[in-house]
Structure 1
Amino acid sequence: MIKDYDNAGYGVITENEKKAMRELAQTEGIILDPVYSSHAYYGMIDHLVNNKIEKGSNILFWHTVGLPAIFCYSKELT
């Protein structure tokens, strides 16, 4: 388990997660929840961008939904 992407604390959304959420929503129409999936997605993107995953590897991002959480954070996400 990689714990490098939750340093801000449980339920705390950083600019990294906000950016990841916006980019995926705008490019693919997929909404990430701000507590779990946004941290995991940002971590995956960070690993890809910084070559922490071997080129040619098969990658599966399992989106577990969590959509209701987005309404609790609506002010932080704007």
Structure 2
Amino acid sequence: MNGKVIGHITPAKPPQMEEGVFYDLTPPSVIQGKIYHRVMCEYRVPNQPDEYVVKGIPEGGVTPKSFVLKFTDRGKVIPRKSENQQGF
């Protein structure tokens, strides 16, 4: 992982994201000024049911970046299982 970046998103309760599965973020999530439309769940952070390490390619980028996605009561982004489960 290239440094720890925490993005905050929120549904009513923390979703159960599956390892290795791609998700579309609705609306897209902005992490350190970069926009992410689609991410792949790498794993859930141990002992943190609302935090996942995910990997995504920011809008206009070509290289996947890993970061921690944390579900809180402050945001509005909802991850939905992507119809496209092809890699990056």
TM-score normalized with structure 2 length? 0.26
Q: Determine which structure has the larger helix proportion and give its number.
A: 1
Q: Greater CA radius of gyration, 1 or 2?
A: 1
Q: Determine which structure has the larger strand proportion and give its number.
A: 2
TM-score normalized with structure 1 length? 0.28
